[in-house]
Amino acid sequence: MQVVVPYATRDPKSRLAGVLDADERRAFARAMRADVVDAVRDAGGEPTLLTTAPPRDAGGGAERTDGVPVVVDDRPLTDAVNDALPDEPGEAVAVVMADLALATAAPLSRLFETAGDVAIAPGRGGGTNALVVRHPDFRVDYHGASYRDHRRIAADAGLSVGVVDSMRLATDVDEPDDIAEVFLHGEGRAREWLADAGFEVVLREGRVGVARSD
Q: Is residue 30 part of a domain?
A: yes
Q: What domain range includes position 8?
A: 2-173
Q: What is the pLDDT of residue 63?
A: 65
Residues 214 and 202: beta-carbon distance below 8 Å: no
Q: Is residue 211 part of a domain?
A: no
Q: What is the pLDDT of residue 59?
A: 47
In one letter, which amino acid is 3?
A: V
CA distance 131 to 140: 10
Q: What is the pLDDT of residue 58?
A: 52
Q: What is the pLDDT of residue 61?
A: 47
Q: Is residue 195 part of a domain?
A: no
* pTM exceeding 0.85: yes
Q: Is residue 181 part of a domain?
A: no
CA distance 71 to 4: 9
- Give 58's DSSP letter: G
Q: Is residue 190 part of a domain?
A: no
Q: Which residues, 6+ apart, have CB-to-CB distance to 205 below 8 Å?
A: none
Q: What is the pLDDT of residue 138?
A: 97
Q: What is the pLDDT of residue 27?
A: 95
Q: Is residue 53 part of a domain?
A: yes
Backbone angles phi, psi at 199, to 5 degrees: -80, 150
Residues 64 and 58: beta-carbon distance below 8 Å: yes
Number of domains, the chain: 1
List the CATH number of the domain containing 152.
Answer: 3.90.550.10
- Averages of pLDDT over each 10 residues, the chain, 214 residues: 94 91 95 96 97 72 75 94 92 97 98 97 95 97 94 97 97 93 94 94 81 79
